[in-house]
Structure 1
Amino acid sequence: MISQILTAVGAMIFGVAVCAAYFLFSNKLLEIIFPAKEGGDVHRVAVNLRRRGIIRPWLFLGPAVSLLAIYLMYPVVATLILSFYGPDGNQFVGGANYVWAVNDNEFRRSIFNNILWLAVVPAACTFFGLVIAVMTDRIWWGNIAKAVIFMPMAISFVGASVIWKFIYEYRGGTDAQIGLLNAIVQLFGGTPQVWITIPFWNNFFLMIMLIWIQTGFAMVILSAALRGIPEETIEAAVIDGANGWQIFWKIMVPQVWGTIATVWTTITILVLKVFDIVLTMTNGQWDTMVLANLMFNWAFRGFDSGRSAVIALVIMIAVTPIMIWNIRRANAETKGH
């Protein structure tokens, strides 16, 4: 334990020292290449100072941009090339992997399940987060309620899956039901079920877990946005005779619509990459497979790098437009301020 702490501290000190050395060396080199003294030539000095100002930011951005190019752009290009090769990555097969994807039932099922997740989870998280944010802002113990609702965000997806496995737990025969859901069903005279094996509906049982985790995130962001609404607007609506429902839908929602869209798209990106919950709860069985799990299966169980690369590209293509839209919206809001 002590050795690990010392290694971590040493790595931080070394990293800071390297950054400081790079800062000093690059600035000194820039001053040598573009000196500020040119024998009284004022025009030349001005040109050199302007060039320093243009180049200096790139000296500090350079390492970060280089790392992004290596760790982001290179894998994308390598994955694209790999998608045209066979299982071992050596035999060129052209578009055979793409033909397989179009004709494969499990691939189509994974896309359908991803679309189902996209249709339910972002909308549910955003809706519940907005409703809870409005309700908790009106009660004295609202901050306590927010803390409790936000708490699942601190739990990993695997940890949450373990918790929900106990909720969906089923015991056959005459054994007592220890699963919370089956215990409730049995209390009201119903028949216990193996919930996560029921085709189609088991997807919703898995979605509930992600909604439970991400509603706290949506609530916190939307609560901050709601507090930015001028009180005069609410007071004017009350004076005009608007009821609580009208104030919520016609006053509050339009003024935080940009934040709602940002929360929705952020959760959408997360849903497109959902993996841990499905792997831990069902391992993709009983028609619950999603694209990320299918990619994992072909890469590390089917040992077919070509097919897994095709699935990875599909996920990337699906995520990219949403990320671009989110970034553009954030930039537009920043310029507005």
Structure 2
Amino acid sequence: MNPALQGLLTIAIGVGGCLSYFYFSNQLLDKVIFPAKGPNAGKNINRANLVRPWLFLLPAILALGLYLAYPVFETIRLSLTERETLPDGTTVYNFVGLANYTQMASEPKFWEAMRNNMMWLIVVPAMSTAFGLLAAQLTDRISWGNIAKSLIFMPMAISFVGAAVIWKLVYDARPPGTEQIGVLNAIYVWMTGNDPQQWLTVPIWNSFLLMIVLIWIQTGFAMVILSAALRGIPEETIEAAIVDGASPLQIFFKIKVPQIMGTIVVVWTTITLVVLKVFDIVFAMTNGQWETQVLANYMFDKLFRANDWGVGSASAIVIMLLVTPILVWNVRNARAEMR
């Protein structure tokens, strides 16, 4: 079957299945289980209204249980066991307690990944939010601001792997004496006259070059959210500041930024969650070599290259433990704002 036709058929079946479920479950509830007739009609209507939300939430609850809750508990179980293949070909899982975590903590690559993740956490959310805020402020002050916003937001439409391929070409190095197609090396050779550099193999600097890719992508996201927040600031406060003789910088840092601080924090934490799970960019550009390893790529190496499910699962739990507090804080903050 043609892939496009298959995709359309899948969408039709999915949407049709959802509509059918909601329609027939509603009919079952109102016509069979709690019919709105007879001496208990009023009670039945109230009972149906109490059950109806849970009936509609049931598919989502089942999906979350199957695709979120079950994998979490299974990963925890695997992180406490060692996979062993017996001579007859059967696979058994032996309980080893925290041995996988101990082995993981003893590996230099794990601590390299932790160190790099911390670097990403410090640099990427801060730079993405700062550039996004700057772009949001400046694009609102120019006549072609909407075009500029579209261009800045465009990288968000590119997959992480696609962005990695683009930037790998930017950092590309050709042999000395040949024309450099990599923009960075072309500028470097033209300005210094030195031989081109293999930038992605230079420790420390290569990590920052990888971070630039994610900053380039996430700046558009930060800009869109912060631009909406800036537009929501009451004009009266800005006009009052202008009347009091405040400079544009004072208005920005002392009037605007404090009023959108909640939004800035939400943007920061959302980008932080993306950074903690970063994998595609590192995998496509360096594959964790030359001291660029991160936790998600370390987990992939253990699970699918070393076939060490115990340590791989343990590293997945570490990522989950790092992500969960920020996620919980973000949800609580969003609920507080809605109240």
TM-score, scaled to structure 1? 0.93
Write out aligned runs for 1:224-235 (5 A): 224-235=228-239
Taking the aligned partners of 2:239 and 2:94, their CA distance within structure 1 comes to 70
Deviation per CA, 1:117-154, whole angstroms, max 9, x where unpaired?
Answer: 00000000000110111111111121121111111112
Taking the aligned partners of 1:16 and 1:181, their CA distance within structure 2 comes to 48
Structure-2 residue corresponding to 1:305: 309
Which amino acid is 2:9 matched to? Answer: G
Structure 1 residue 262, shift from structure 2 partner: 0.9
Structure-1 residue corresponding to 2:291: 287
Counterpart check, 1:205 vs 2:206:
no
Structure 2 unmatched ranges of 5 or more? 85-91
Structure 1 unmatched ranges of 5 or more? none
Deviation per CA, 1:94-135, whole angstroms, max 9, x where unpaired?
Answer: 211010122111101100100000000000000011011111
Structure 1 residue 290, shift from structure 2 partner: 0.1
RMSD: 1.6
Percent identical residues: 58
Which amino acid is 1:13 matched to? Answer: A
Taking the aligned partners of 1:35 and 1:159, their CA distance within structure 2 comes to 55
Taking the aligned partners of 1:143 and 1:8, their CA distance within structure 2 comes to 33
Counterpart check, 1:219 vs 2:223:
yes
Structure 1 residue 180, shift from structure 2 partner: 1.2
Structure-2 residue corresponding to 1:36: 36
Taking the aligned partners of 1:168 and 1:11, their CA distance within structure 2 comes to 40
Taking the aligned partners of 2:35 and 2:128, their CA distance within structure 1 comes to 57
Write out aligned runs for 1:1-337 (5 A): 3-31=2-30, 32-39=32-39, 44-88=40-84, 90-191=93-194, 192-335=196-339
Instruction: Indicate the SS of the match to 1:213.
Output: helix
Structure 1 residue 190, shift from structure 2 partner: 4.8
Taking the aligned partners of 2:12 and 2:284, their CA distance within structure 1 comes to 39
Which segment drifts farther, 46-55 or 66-75? 46-55
Taking the aligned partners of 2:154 and 2:58, their CA distance within structure 1 comes to 39
Taking the aligned partners of 2:214 and 2:16, their CA distance within structure 1 comes to 42
Structure-1 residue corresponding to 2:89: none
Taking the aligned partners of 2:224 and 2:327, their CA distance within structure 1 comes to 21
Which segment drifts farther, 45-54 or 139-148? 45-54
Structure 1 residue 73, shift from structure 2 partner: 0.3
Deviation per CA, 1:56-89, whole angstroms, max 9, x where unpaired?
Answer: 1111101110111011000000000000111446
- 1:149/1:13 CA distance change after superposition, 3 Å: closer
Which amino acid is 2:77 matched to? Answer: I
Structure 1 residue 327, shift from structure 2 partner: 1.0
**Contact kept in structure 2, 1:114 and 1:290, CA below 8 Å:** yes
Deviation per CA, 1:181-236, whole angstroms, max 9, x where unpaired?
Answer: 11111222253321111111211011011111111111111111101111111111
Structure 1 residue 12, shift from structure 2 partner: 3.4
Taking the aligned partners of 1:16 and 1:61, their CA distance within structure 2 comes to 16
Which amino acid is 1:108 matched to? Answer: W
Deviation per CA, 1:252-289, whole angstroms, max 9, x where unpaired?
Answer: 00111111011111110000010111111111001000
Structure 1 residue 307, shift from structure 2 partner: 0.7
**Contact kept in structure 2, 1:87 and 1:307, CA below 8 Å:** no
Structure 1 residue 179, shift from structure 2 partner: 1.7
Which amino acid is 1:81 matched to? Answer: R
TM-score, scaled to structure 2? 0.93
Instruction: Indicate the SS of the match to 1:286.
Output: coil
Deviation per CA, 1:154-180, whole angstroms, max 9, x where unpaired?
Answer: 211111112111211122343333221
